[in-house]
Amino acid sequence: MTSVKYFRILTVYHHPMSIQKTDTLYEVTRRYPATVEVFVRAGLRRMADEEIRRQYGSAITLEAVAEAQGIELDDLSARLRRAAGLVSTGARDAETDRSARDEPDGTDQVRPVRIMGLVPCPIRVPLTNTLDDFARRFTEDTGIEVDYNLQAAYTGTEWMEENIPADPSPEEIPDIFLSAGFRMFFTDPRFIELRARGAFSDRSGWKTHNAFGRVNDLMDPKARFSVISVVPAVFMVNRNVLGDRPVPRSWEEVLSPEYENSLALPIGDFDLFDALLLGVYRRFGLPGIEQLARNMYRSLHPAQMIAGAQGGGAQGGSAQGGGASGSPPDQPLITIMPWFFTRTVNEQSPLIPVWPEDGALAAPVLLITRSDRPEIQPVIDFLTGLPVSRILSRLGLFPSTHPENDDFPAESSPLQWPGWDFLLSPELPELLELTTSVFQKTVAERTVGATGVAQPGGVK
């Protein structure tokens, strides 16, 4: 039986006033403020912000968020009822019971395999379902349990950082990290120190990548990290706003002053936005970051943009995202988004997907494994195997580097990969903070006009 120790399992008494699956997140937290912490611990860190709870939580039900997060609805409801004080005094905490059962009894016990990470939203549920099946078989065969917590990438790395000791030894960290993005593993001093001590190694067993990985130089030359896939950032161009201008097909064109106040950016998608900042900085320096900020119309989730654009809009328009004649004021000209969302565009859509000719900026999907514990190798082999590779490339449209996966031809899928020397530079943490600061400062300066009123592109 797969053990998931990061999530508490409760046996509850059904209270007649209990929280219902059709309740919205905002309704629950408004009635029972103590439940905010439950949502935060479940990976919805932004629920700690009252304005976000009111704005977004009013439209999301418990049932929907449980499905999106890959959490058992009964488990989430139980934790919420307990926090709200709706649980009978006779309720039992199954985790406590299990902990008591797990106390040493004088026999040798093998430590469970611990996996922690952030995975792109489109593949989180199919990946965890597949991992469930594998873990069950692995435990039956070996007696070793698999404890894992894989959150959606948009939740950010804070919850992982809080679960890592201040000065960890390799034995105190999870055995395997599966995560999208740069920030934690390339900028956190704890991981930089662990890396220097040889705590991590590439245990994929791959002697080389497929053509896509080789052309883009994605294999770590010192065999510490495994890049098993990437999340490419591409353009979605709205022809209803484009007017008679040519479709922009490169980052240089997108960063032209011609497109000021015309871009929707994935600011809430931390891993992809970091990749965007670093990629623009490498080619265009801080002036490029400033122009990116000036060109931003608003922060917008790709699904929102596609739904709005495909709902209608007049033809024609100017470079101004919200200023096109007759077009909806919330429709940007160009949206930077993961390639995955291009599959949601229908044939009648005014949206044109563009893979940049000078290469998609990309956030890596990393598998980071400890160098010790040979008994966990079958788990690593599973995560680096072809079935998981197919989930990434076919369900998520995230190009895989698996040697036997050629779903994304190298010649038609160029990347702008920052390179290992750049990623492992000691200046990277400060550089990421600098580019973020310059971007935010430029947006703040641009969005306050002569009247002092913030314009649509403001970053909150």
**Top-level CATH class of 10-101?**
mainly alpha
Query: Could you tell me which of 239, 175, 180 has the C-alpha nearest to residue 370?
Result: 175
- Band of pLDDT at residue 454, cut at 50, 70 and 90: very low
Mean pLDDT of 83-93: 54
Give dist(CA 369, CA 254) in Å, integer: 38
pLDDT of 48: 83
pLDDT of 109: 59
pLDDT of 420: 95
pTM: 0.71
Task: Cite the beta strand spans of 208-293 per DSSP E.
Answer: 226-238, 263-265
What one-character-per-residue DSSP string does 388-443 give? HHHIIIIIS---B--TT--SS-GGGS-EE---HHHHT-TTHHHHHHHHHHHHHHHH
Give dist(CA 20, CA 189) in Å, integer: 43
CB 81 within 8 A of CB 12: yes
Return residue ranges of the chain for CATH 3.40.190.10: 113-230+361-426, 232-359+435-447
- Band of pLDDT at residue 330, cut at 50, 70 and 90: low
- Band of pLDDT at residue 455, cut at 50, 70 and 90: very low
**pLDDT above 70 covers what percent of the chain?**
80
Question: Measured between alpha carbons, how far is residue 272 from residues 155, 323, 354, 365 in Å?
Answer: 13, 27, 17, 11
Judging by beta carbons within 10 Å of its beta carbon (0-12, 13-18, 19+), is residue 355 exposed, middle or buried? Answer: middle
Q: What values do phi and psi take at 230, rounded to 5?
A: -140, 155
pLDDT of 33: 87
pLDDT of 23: 83
Give me the CATH topology for the region 113-230+361-426: D-Maltodextrin-Binding Protein; domain 2 (3.40.190)
| 368-393 residue pLDDT tens | 999 999 999 999 999 999 999 999 99
DSSP β-ladder status, 360-370 and 176-180: antiparallel
**pLDDT above 90 covers what percent of the chain?**
48
What value does the mean pLDDT of the chain take?
A: 81
Mean pLDDT of 100-116: 63
Return residue ranges of the chain for CATH 1.10.3910: 10-101
Query: Could you tell me which of 194, 178, 135 has the C-alpha nearest to residue 364?
Result: 178
* DSSP reduced 3-state for 266: coil
Over 50: is that where the pLDDT of 129 sits? yes
Over 90: is that where the pLDDT of 200 sits? yes
- 71-75, 83-87, 187-191, 271-275 — most confident range: 187-191
Q: Report the greatest alpha carbon distance in the chain.
A: 78
Architecture of domain 232-359+435-447: 3-Layer(aba) Sandwich (3.40)
Judging by beta carbons within 10 Å of its beta carbon (0-12, 13-18, 19+), is residue 137 exposed, middle or buried? Answer: exposed
